[in-house]
Amino acid sequence: MRQWMARRGRVLAGMVLLGGLAGCAAHGDAAATGPVGTAQVPAQTALMARYGERMARQVRSDRVFDGILERAHVRTGFGVLAVVTPLGFVQKAGVQAGVLPPAVSAAVIRHLLGVNFGRFLPGMPDRPLVFEFPVQPPGVGAAAAGGVGGGSVFRQQEIVLYQPNAVLVARVGSAVPLGAYIKQLDASLAASFDAMPPEAGVTAALVMGVKPGMKSRAWVVTGRNHMSAALIEKIETVAEAVPAVPVQGGPIAFAIIFNVWGGGVPVTDAKHPVPMPRQWFQGAVGNVEVPDGVFARIWK
């Protein structure tokens, strides 16, 4: 399997639709006002996310897996990708490129191929699914598993993808350039927040859209957290200044959910598992596919 740059444990999300239901506010953006659409998110998305989080917890408590890393003196966190069948067996596995020696990578993959994560939750698709999650060697903190660490006030929580895996791979080619792009966005956001005076803790989502031609656009979703218009504009400007990942055949969209200054109120929940910018709903009539239909309407 092609080696992937994995981020915080999160299953790749399926297709999301915007439905034109008048009078319903878009969840996750305190600035949303007036009659706009509402997100039509398949219940499967929340179930798959829950299963992916269960996988990450199981690996964290796997003593045999820890032993492999301890014997190889692995001290750096890394990402794992696994194709899992509905019965919970790992069909294929890969690890983040360039972190582990080849022999250790091979041992990790062999172990994962023998792991069973249990049957899919009722309501999940009856087919193999792709999951990504971070691995932390014994004694290594969460910051080492990828993203920004150290003393930064910025902490990435998870990545949400708005498209099926097959569509994403066809448009990006592999997760390696996408992972590198996300890492650059994290670093840019961290540098900006670290240079600011401390404020009350906030949890928010940076939603990124990328179109062919390396064109990018950013939206910030704050939910019930307070963030000034000036700070939102600064975050979007910083994010759009990062060179975009090349895509082909259509746009992609993803969200970086993050905490800053200790974090605030979550921007997602069981009812609203993905953050949706209010701008995506403006002028929406009927069901509109995310991101293709939305971007065709609002981003010329």
Contacts of 128 (CB under 8 A, 6+ apart): 83, 84, 85, 86, 91
State the DSSP code for 13.
P
Structure tokens at 113: 């191929």
User: Is 231 inside a domain boundary?
Assistant: yes
Residue 1 lies in a domain: no
* pLDDT tens digits, 34-64: 333 333 445 677 778 778 888 888 888 888 9
Determine, yes or no, domain membership for 23: yes
62 domain-assigned = yes
Q: How many domains does the chain have?
A: 1
Residue 52: its pLDDT value, please? 82
Question: Is 2 domain-assigned?
Answer: no
* Displacement of CA 14 from its chain's centroid (Å): 12
For residue 213, give its domain range.
10-298
Q: Decide if 104 is inside a domain.
A: yes
What average pLDDT does range 74-90 have in this prediction? 87
CB 291 within 8 A of CB 209: yes
What backbone torsions phi and psi does residue 94 show, to the nearest 5 degrees?
-150, 165
Peptide bond into 197 cis (omega under 30): no
Q: What is the mean pLDDT of residues 168-196?
A: 88
In a domain? residue 5: no
Mean pLDDT of the chain: 79
pLDDT in tens, 11-22: 334 445 554 222
44 assigned to some structural domain: yes
